[in-house]
Amino acid sequence: MSKMIIPILVMALTTYFIRMIPFVFVRKKIENRFIQSFLYYIPYSVLSAMTIPSIFYATGDLASAIVGTIIAIVLAYRNCPLIVVALAASAAAYATMLVTPLLI
């Protein structure tokens, strides 16, 4: 148990300082439109960079991953609820995995 305290404290301090530094050095409102738009899109780009690769490696089958991704993109574009998008994409990927061996 005592071996875990130091890594936990190091991680806590690291995340604290990463979040604290902008508040210390940037006191006034950011008025530059380019920087505002850049900061606005960072969470979306980071989430995409973490999610997209795992989508294609999760099933172990490229065809099912592509079908599931296309279904998810189409439903998300149509403003469907997140649970509908997730369930439909999972069902489409699963169905593709079941059908693909029959076609080969």
- Decide if pLDDT at 17 tops 80: yes
3-state class (DSSP) for residue 95: helix
Gap between the Cα atoms of 90 and 93, Å rounded: 5
pLDDT band at 86 (very low <50, low <70, confident <90, very high): very high
pLDDT at residue 68, rounded to an integer = 94
31-83 pLDDT, tens digit each: 889 988 888 899 889 888 998 898 888 888 899 999 999 999 999 999 999 99
pLDDT at residue 71, rounded to an integer = 96
With CA atoms as reference, report the closest residue to 65 among 43, 90, 28.
Answer: 90
pLDDT band at 27 (very low <50, low <70, confident <90, very high): confident
Per-residue tokens: 79: 């403003």
3-state class (DSSP) for residue 29: coil
Residue-wise DSSP of 58-92: HSS-HHHHHHHHHHHHHHHHTT--HHHHHHHHHHH
- Decide if pLDDT at 16 tops 70: yes
Residue with tokens 């296309």: 70
Report which residue type is found at 34: F
